[in-house]
Every structure is written in structure tokens, then in C-alpha cells.
Chain A
């Protein structure tokens, strides 16, 4: 990303664009990666609202709602999803395993 000069940015550090945090990819902060066992998951939806990055996507609605794979572009690896899972279907594994 090209950085802008002081004349090309709004005053006072203001952000004048809604939803711009989407551009801020925080996935590379992660030192642990959540590994989701799809078969074991009971689709209880505990992890979704508790994810601080809101990076667990879902499809469907109501009783048919189903979670999908964690969006690793944003997941910081905090492990809250693992902690709240009632059936222990999420494991945190060292990120270095995947980046070698």
C-alpha cells in the first residue's frame, strides 16, 4: 500500500470512510491458528458472536444457520472460540506449523 502525504489525508487523523477497517488485515498478528473440526461441531453458534474480530462467517438463518471456516485474513488467534466451544471442536495450533 502506498502511504499518503500530510496534504492528502483528512485533518486530525480523521477517517472519512465507513467500514474501512476491512482494509486492515490483522491475520498476520496470529501466533496460534484455530482448527475447526466440522464433523464434531454441533452448530450451536456460541463462537460466532463471541469472536472479537467477527471473522467466523455463517450461512443460512434461524435454525438452519451454519458456521463456515474462520476467515484467516482477520483471525488474530485469540482462542476465544476454542474456549467457548461446548463440544471442544476447535483446537489452537502453532501458526509456525502452517507457515513453514
Chain B
């Protein structure tokens, strides 16, 4: 039996954490993530979970603590955003390098400067090459379900995972979230059996020793097949989760794509805005569609290319910039399409930096321009220029 709860995106993240019941949660508050840990701290204080919650003095310490606890064999979760993730940086790479299955909720927020607390994807996109699995969530419901999936996936392939949601838009907006039965979820999550626990005195191990020219390359290279495995396991574990939730966990969702001429590719909450625009435009007879990517790392190149190869016009919406290079999502889509000799029109649009709103009308405009061949190859949405 599931229950409908009125919770925010952060509340949904905390709800997943309650059911996962991690052994250790080291945390440091940062807007707009704070609400996750605040809610979770209430669960700890009320004895709803068995978690050892450690309040640390910085995000660098939060991730260091997560690494230590995870190496000891604990199931570990934490959460952060923006500058918090930036401060963690060094240890974020250590977590993946040491193959520790930590799950971190990311509430996407712009990076400084200028100082800004609102949504864009510069934080998690900046961390895209640090060896973590990255799953993006359109809604609070998806935050909740993706967190459950991420925990199982991380522990299966021994790689850490980030579950991303849009700061304030998703994190602080109240939605009806279907929370599944505690028993079913706990059964799905199962017990964490870490094979290289530091606390196992019968089988002593050393984590994180020095490796120079002789072994570093070999060790680092192991993360490549691990990501390939993560890609396969994501589907398998998603199918298992489907049995509880009744929803599907593909690499991406296709919305009105079958007969579409123009398609937008987007992440997180903008996918929801795009769906509303599509519903409206479909009534007007316009053949528009959406590819909402869920799994960004590992990136499903082949599958994305197959889904997009027959589409005449594609616009990729990025809520992040890669200064001096193609925006992150656009770059990956372009990479994927190279392999299928794509001969349609591909557009890159940067939007929404620092929480600049994107409205249904903006999406409609993008589609209309695309339909009328008036969309530039590289452009922006909502920027005064």
C-alpha cells in the first residue's frame, strides 16, 4: 500500500532517506539543500531511523566523513548544492576513486560569482567527470524514486551516485508524492554488504594508498567498465523498482516523440514545462515532442542516438555553460548523433542560469522558431542581449 504525501522535492529526498535508513549521514547545510537534512534530522531526533548523523564543519569534511564511513562498510548518504559541492570537490573524486557507494542528493544551484542561490546545473555539470553516476529528476516523485534506485545501483557496482533536482523549483515546491510501503522499499533496498570493510579485522585492508606511474593508470581504468556495468544494472534495478512503483526507469523518457518533427531535449523540471507546452501545441496540430534524459552519467549514447536519429529538428536545452566549449548536454547529444550520421538540424540553447525562469511560452517560442526554421544553431532563451 502506498500513501500520498504532500511534500517538497527536498521532503521527497528525505522520505527516500528515511526508508533507506542509512547507517551514517554526515551533513553540512547549504541552501537550497538544507531542507533535506533538516527534515532528515527530525527523523533522526524522533528515532524514526537508526542513522548516526554527523554534523561537520564544512562540505569538505562532510564528504571526507562519508568516505571514511563508507570504507568502514556503512551505508552512507549526504546532500549538497552549489558552493557546497564545489568545496567537496577533492573528496568527491576520492569517493569514486576508492569505489565507495555513497549516494548524494544534489539540489541544483548556480555557482558563484555573482552569488546566487537559485537553480541552474553548473554545480552537478561541473562534477560530471568526477566518476559519479548522475540521475536527474523532473519532479519530487522522481527525486524519491531515483534516490531508491541510486542506492541499489551504487552498492551493486561500487560507484557513488548523485540524484539531482532543480533548486527551489522542485526542492521547495509542494507536490503530491506517492510514497511506497516501508516494508516493500526496505526489501528492495536490502542489506549493504560491503566486501572491503575497514572494520573487518579478519581481513585487513588498506584504502587509498599511494599509486604512482606503476599502478595509478590501471586502478583508474577500472572505473570505465564499472560505468558500463552501471548502465546495464540501472535498467535491471529499475525493472525491479517498477514492480513496486508501476513506473518505468529508462535512460530517458520519450514524450510525444513518435511522429514528432521537432524535439526538445531537457533535464529536470524543464521537462515538465516542456510537456505542458507540447500538450498545448499538439492541440494546435504541431508535431512537437520531448526527450527527457534521466541518466546523464553513464551517458546512454547509443540509445539516445537511436531515439533521435529520425527527428528532423532537435533543440538541446542546457541550464549550464561550458565556457569556451559546447554546453554539457548539447555536447553529449551531438557526440551521440555523430555515430548515426545525423543529417537533421541540431540547436543548442542555454537558458535559466541563476534561476532565470523558463515559462511554457518560452518553450512554445522555441518550438515555433524551430518549426519555421528561425532558430539559431547556438542561442539562448530568456537572456537580454
* Cβ contact within 8 Å between B196 and A6: no
Chain B residues with CB under 8 Å of A60's CB are none
B271 within 8 A of A: no
Minimal beta-carbon separation of B160 from chain A (angstroms): 11
A29-B207 Cα distance, complex, nearest whole Å? 25
A80 within 8 A of B: no
Chain A residues with CB under 8 Å of B97's CB are 12-13
B206 within 8 A of A: yes
Query: Which of A12, A16, A20 is close to B219, meaning CB atoms less than 8 Å apart?
Result: A12
For chain B residues 214-242, which have a beta carbon within 8 Å of chain A? 214-219, 221-222, 226
Query: Which of B203, B204, B218 is close to A4, meaning CB atoms less than 8 Å apart?
Result: B218
A12-B98, A15-B206 known; A5-B218 Cβ under 8 A: yes
Chain A residues with CB under 8 Å of B217's CB are 6
Closest B residue to A8 by beta carbon equals B218
* Cβ contact within 8 Å between B204 and A13: no
Closest A residue to B97 by beta carbon equals A12
* Cβ contact within 8 Å between B204 and A6: no
A59-B149 Cα distance, complex, nearest whole Å? 58
B285 within 8 A of A: no
Which of the four size classes fits the interface of chain B?
A: 20 to 34
Closest A residue to B204 by beta carbon equals A18
Minimal beta-carbon separation of A7 from chain B (angstroms): 8
A87 within 8 A of B: no
A9-B99 Cα distance, complex, nearest whole Å? 14
Chain B residues with CB under 8 Å of A10's CB are 196
Chain B residues with CB under 8 Å of A20's CB are 206
B47 within 8 A of A: no
Minimal beta-carbon separation of A43 from chain B (angstroms): 34
A6-B219, A6-B221, A6-B222 known; A12-B214 Cβ under 8 A: no
Minimal beta-carbon separation of A44 from chain B (angstroms): 34
A20-B206 Cα distance, complex, nearest whole Å? 10
B209 within 8 A of A: yes
Query: Which of A9, A11, A16 is close to B215, meaning CB atoms less than 8 Å apart?
Result: A9
Chain A residues with CB under 8 Å of B211's CB are 13
Chain A residues with CB under 8 Å of B246's CB are none
Chain B residues with CB under 8 Å of A18's CB are 204
Chain B residues with CB under 8 Å of A9's CB are 215, 218-219, 222
* Cβ contact within 8 Å between A3 and B214: yes
For chain B residues 187-212, which have a beta carbon within 8 Å of chain A? 196, 203-209, 211
Closest A residue to B219 by beta carbon equals A13
Residues of A in contact with B (beta carbons under 8 Å apart): 3-6, 9-16, 18, 20
